[in-house]
Amino acid sequence: MTDKLILRALKGEVLPTPPIWMMRQAGRYLPEYRATRAEAGDFLKLCYNPDLAAEVTSQPIRRFGFDAAILFADILLICQALGADLWFETGEGPRLSTITTRAELDALKPVDAIHDTLAPVYQTLRILGRELPRETTLIGFAGAPWTVATYMIAGRGSKDQGAAHALKSADRATFAALIDRITEATIEYLSEQVKAGAEVVKLFDSWAGSLKGDDFTDFAMKPAARIIAELKSRHPELPIIAFPREAGQGYVGFAKATGADCVAIDNSVTPEWAAEHVQPGGCVQGNLAPGHMVTGGDALVSETRRVVNAFRKGPHIFNLGHGITPDADPENVRLMIETVRGM
């Protein structure tokens, strides 16, 4: 049996203390991250500098002793690898050239060309495989096709994913073809991450909650199932975490429908509900509200205990319900970890 706690939980083992990591655990709330990002020059240069990307991936492991390190990268690098223009506006986030017509889709690079652009990401994983503590699990990741498509269609993030929904309604064939292209690229990207040393991969569908009814099935569930099936065909022992954020009732049965080993839960559902309705299907990851990393105090301790106790009867990986925010206090992270491990 492996001594890596996250791998044990992903195989279905119920552990006395859940393993812990955090989404966006390498980020702006850490002064050492801010210093390294300044050294890199800008965000994309940091993503594509293997030595510095490995450094920021390792920083929260050194500071907090998390049970996993997640590759430092961005879900939109795959868009750039497919030929889209990508840049980041200071204080505003990502910007991309848009894909809204069949001609623009056809002008993208073929899927087998993505590795030239993404080679530095694979090198980051190789460095981490050598340098991380032996007990630390290395997690790779990608954005799920729907979420990546929303950015490619709108050219930026949006609160309602309106541009993607509009294209889906107006030209479903082109929209579906874009989803297919991203799905194929994601399979190749994640497979190369595994070859480079990722022991687990996670599929982030940050905007899954805006898909309803058949659209959720067609554009969140089916692409995830296709990606997971192909990855497990190539890498039979690979554990995969799926995160269809704000899926609500869509969380129920998601693991079975897609083949995921674990479903990550956001904090729009209670841990008690997820323990009753989702955890019977396998490992659950989550779901402390990220705001507690800002406010701390007794509420952080009590809610952390609540999450641990709710999921105690099944396999569980402790995490936040979404990424930690830049205004979080590192000492609150430490308090959370001490609370989980002290129960």
Helix (H) / strand (E) element for 147: namely: helix 145-154
Pairwise CA distance, residues 183 & 111, whole Å: 10
Mean pLDDT over each residue of the chain, to the nearest integer? 97
Q: Which residues are catalytic?
A: 24, 28, 37, 74, 151
Domain that holds residue 323: 5-341
The torsion region of residue 259 among left (phi > 0), alpha (psi -120 to 50) and beta comes to left
pLDDT, position 261 = 98
Largest CA distance in the chain: 57
* Per-residue model confidence as pLDDT tens digits over 115-162: 999 999 999 999 999 999 999 999 999 999 999 999 999 999 999 999
The CATH number for 103's domain is: 3.20.20.210
Mention every residue, 6+ apart, whose C-beta is less than 8 A from residue 141.
70, 71, 73, 75, 193, 201, 202, 203, 204
Give the start-end residues of each E strand in the chain. 68-70, 86-89, 93-96, 137-143, 200-205, 240-244, 262-264, 283-288, 316-320
Here the tokens at position 216 are 């959720």
Here the tokens at position 122 are 């694979």
Q: At residue 90, does pLDDT exceed 90?
A: no
Pairwise CA distance, residues 231 & 236, whole Å: 8
Q: Answer whether 0.85 is exceeded by the pTM.
A: yes
